[in-house]
Copies of this chain bind each other. A is one copy, B any other.
Amino acid sequence: MATRQRGRPRSFDRLTALEQATMAFWEHGYETTSVSDLTRAMGISAPSLYAAFGDKKTLFEEVVEAYAGSYGSYGGRAFAEEPTARGAIGRVLREAAELFTESGHPRGCLMISAATNCSTPEVEEALRARREANLTSFEARISRGIEAGELSPGTDARALARFSGAVLQGMSQQARDGATREDLAAIAEWAMRSWPAETTPAITPGAAQETASETPAGYGA
């Protein structure tokens, strides 16, 4: 680790280049971003890209992973810090309204939009799997909220999770279509109106008792 590399040193910063690739994929999606676009955005030549990141698909996978750990981490934080299901998912929607319209990066959510209309099945499926996983984590958190007495026992956890996810996905598309932050925030608030009010104050606040399986893996739906 302290030992220097043997050969000629890399002339670019790998993390910076990865971030620039993230911006390109986030903006234009997997399929529409050509390797030529990538090399231009990253400021490196094609052979350097292939040497450092494998091929286009592998680079995209690394981008998605990095995105999940940075921009997409707000969901995990909300789940970890908010004591109730309603609080957690409400916060996810409200923070999404900010993230999706923040300046300094493209609009909307990379995981929601970057692999739509993608002719590489593995890439399309990889993002679909992440969306599914997040719906599942929504549902698990809601189920736990029902068990904890926060929500009425008759609550349909699957439906409420899918509804919340649909709102998040719609917010992403509207962000890309030019909606303002206030537009998205209003959508989030309106969605939370149909959430049943909590029947009991949360008993055990804090993150310690989460199940790993119900923590969103990066973005929110």
Interface residues of A (CB under 8 A from B): 28-32, 112-114, 116-119, 128, 131-132, 156, 158-160, 162-163, 165-171, 173-174, 176-179, 183, 186-187, 189-194, 221
Contact = CB atoms under 8 A, between A and B. Distances in A.
A107 to B, nearest CB: 12
A157 B204 CA distance: 38
A166 B167 contact: yes
A30 B118 CA distance: 11
Contacts of A187: 159, 162-163, 166
25 contacts: A29-B117, A30-B117, A31-B31, A31-B32, A31-B117, A32-B119, A117-B117, A117-B118, A128-B177, A132-B177, A132-B178, A159-B183, A159-B187, A159-B189, A162-B174, A162-B179, A162-B186, A166-B167, A166-B170, A166-B173, A167-B170, A169-B170, A169-B173, A193-B193, A193-B194
Which of A169, A170, A176 has most chain B Cβ within 10 Å?
A: A170
Nearest to A37: B119
Nearest to A131: B177
Contacts of A119: 28, 32
A28 B116 CA distance: 9
The secondary structure that dominates the A interface is: helix
A135 to B, nearest CB: 8
A162 B167 CA distance: 10
A186 B158 CA distance: 9
A17 to B, nearest CB: 22
A177 B111 CA distance: 13
A144 to B, nearest CB: 19
Given A128-B177, A169-B173, A160 B190 contact: yes
Which of A118, A156, A163, A174 has most chain B Cβ within 10 Å?
A: A163
Given A159-B183, A186-B156, A170 B174 contact: no
A113 B29 CA distance: 13
Contacts of A193: 193-194
Contact of A117 (B114, B156, B177, B178): B114
Nearest to A159: B186
